[in-house]
């Protein structure tokens, strides 16, 4: 098979990549280029779609069919691509401004429809390309170019929004962890339905170290929990901490304390239809909780384009109208 020979190199471009030195986008680009050969898809069937923003320059840096579109409209463009040809592997790359602000409406409707598109949100919690205004994910109180006294808006959490829109797949990952990114992206690619992957991405210029509390080498074991389907929700350097359900709320516990054993720890189930625990996991914030990483939800559900295709097949079978001549001569036709 030809596509088995595809390597990450096939997805690299020769033109220069023009992100700032040290930008988190580079590692995300590499991770996607590394994962694509593993999905078994032919390289000509991959399409990168984006909106506007630093992240959205992505298609120019991928050797695939690419479409750099309009601010916020990537989901709508990608939907059209996928519905026009469901055999394509469609990757939408977006940022926190592109997907959560101007494109918020398209984002939730894409998720609600569950079209099989992989959406990667580069979340640096700031507007980078327009140089430093606050975004819908900027933490409340942050001082930015347009919030000299601190923002007074409650930020969106992409995970919460995804669950609220009946998302079937949500994952979170960190731009400094290639291994984690590859694992998550592979699962996102394999999922049938809309896959939302939030990347905690660092903007070296306007929000440098915004995720440091979560991603810093010294704190990451305690401040992140990497979730895997079927495995207990453990974290900490020695996996000595875990999550339990207490009075319908998540709670951090220590193994060995208060009689807690590993058997008490919640087992992660990405595939359940009930999103309640996934919702709680996606909302966990410091300092009370570690921030959830990995695949939080991967529920198999009907996919829009398959349902559409089924309807078309059925309509064709059940109709006497086989072509346009039939259509024009159907119904009330008069002969004089």
Q: What is the binding site for another protein (CB under 8 A)?
A: 15, 43-45, 47-49, 52, 59-60, 63-70, 73, 75-85, 87-88, 105-106, 109, 308, 311-312, 314-316, 318-319, 321, 323-325, 327-329, 331-336
Residue (74 or 136) nearer to another protein, CB: 74
Which candidate, 232, 199, 200, places its Cα nearest to that of 214? 200
Which is closer to another protein, CB of 106 or CB of 211?
106
In which element (H, E) is residue 291 found?
strand 291-298
Smallest distance from the beta carbon of 239 to another protein, in angstroms?
43
What is the distance between the alpha carbons of residues 303 and 165, in angstroms, rounded to a whole number? Answer: 15
63 contacts: CB under 8 Å, gap ≥ 6: 10, 11, 12, 13, 43
Q: Which is nearer to another protein, 69 or 151 (CB)?
A: 69
Taking the C-alpha atoms of residue 117 and residue 145, their distance in angstroms, rounded to an integer, is 34
Helix (H, G, I), strand (E, B) or coil at 97: helix
Q: Are 108 and 119 in contact, with CB atoms under 8 Å apart? A: no
- Rounded least distance, CB 155 to another protein, Å: 23
User: In the bound complex, what is the minimum distance in angstroms from residue 45's beta carbon to another protein?
Assistant: 6
Q: Are 73 and 264 in contact (CB under 8 A)?
A: no
**SS3 category, 208:** coil
Q: What angle do CA 279, 217, 61 make, to 5 degrees?
A: 75
Q: What minimum distance in Å lies between the beta carbon of 32 and another protein?
A: 15
Q: Which is nearer to another protein, 43 or 220 (CB)?
A: 43
Give the integer Cα–Cα distance in Å for 257 and 293.
25
Minimum distance from CB of 3 to another protein (Å)?
11
Handedness of CA 50, 52, 56, 61 (dihedral sign): positive
Q: Do residues 211 and 200 make contact, with C-beta atoms less than 8 angstroms apart?
A: yes
Give the shortest CB-95-to-another protein separation in angstroms: 16
User: Can you tell me the distance from the alpha carbon of 240 to that of 141, in angstroms, rounded to the nearest whole number?
Assistant: 34
**Nearer residue to another protein within complex by CB, 85 or 285:** 85
* Cα gap 301→249, rounded to integer Å: 26
Q: In the bound complex, what is the minimum distance in angstroms from residue 253's beta carbon to another protein?
A: 42
Whether 252 contacts 267, CB under 8 Å: no
Residue 304 to residues 192, 257, 308, Cα–Cα distance (Å): 10, 48, 6
Based on CB atoms, which residue is closest to another protein, 13 or 253? 13
Please identify, using beta-carbon distances, which residue of 66 and 159 lies nearer to another protein.
66
Q: Which is nearer to another protein, 47 or 196 (CB)?
A: 47
Minimum distance, C-beta of residue 42 to another protein, in the bound complex (Å): 8
């Amino acid at each position: 098979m030809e596509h088995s020979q595809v390597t990450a190199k096939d997805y690299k471009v020769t033109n220069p990549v023009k992100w700032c030195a040290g930008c988190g986008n580079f590692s995300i680009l590499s991770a996607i280029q590394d994962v694509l050969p593993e999905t078994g898809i032919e390289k000509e069937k991959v399409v990168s779609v984006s909106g506007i923003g630093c992240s959205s320059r992505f298609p120019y840096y991928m050797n695939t069919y690419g479409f750099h579109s309009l601010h916020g409209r990537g989901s709508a463009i990608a939907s059209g691509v996928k519905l026009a040809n469901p055999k394509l592997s469609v990757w939408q790359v977006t940022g926190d401004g592109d997907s959560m602000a101007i494109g918020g409406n398209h984002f939730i409707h894409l998720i609600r429809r569950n079209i099989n598109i992989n959406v990667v949100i580069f979340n640096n919690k700031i507007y980078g390309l327009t140089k430093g205004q606050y975004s819908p994910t900027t933490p409340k109180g942050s001082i930015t170019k347009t919030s000299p006294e601190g923002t007074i808006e409650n930020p969106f959490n992409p995970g919460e929004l995804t669950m609220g829109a009946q998302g079937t797949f949500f994952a979170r990952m960190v731009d400094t962890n290639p291994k984690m990114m590859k694992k998550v992206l592979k699962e996102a690619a394999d999922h049938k339905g809309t896959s939302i992957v939030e990347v905690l991405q660092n903007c070296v210029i306007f929000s440098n170290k915004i995720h440091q509390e979560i991603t810093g080498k010294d704190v990451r074991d305690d401040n992140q929990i990497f979730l895997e389907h079927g495995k207990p929700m453990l974290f900490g350097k020695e996996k000595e901490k875990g999550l339990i359900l207490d009075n319908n709320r998540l709670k951090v516990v220590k193994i060995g304390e208060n009689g807690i054993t590993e058997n008490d720890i919640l087992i992660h189930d990405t595939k359940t239809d009930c999103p309640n625990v996934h919702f709680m996991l996606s909302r966990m914030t410091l300092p009370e909780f570690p921030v959830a990483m990995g695949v939080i939800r991967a529920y198999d559900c009907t996919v829009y384009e398959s349902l559409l295709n089924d309807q078309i097949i059925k309509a064709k079978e059940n109709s006497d109208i086989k072509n346009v001549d039939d259509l024009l001569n159907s119904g009330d036709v008069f002969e004089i």
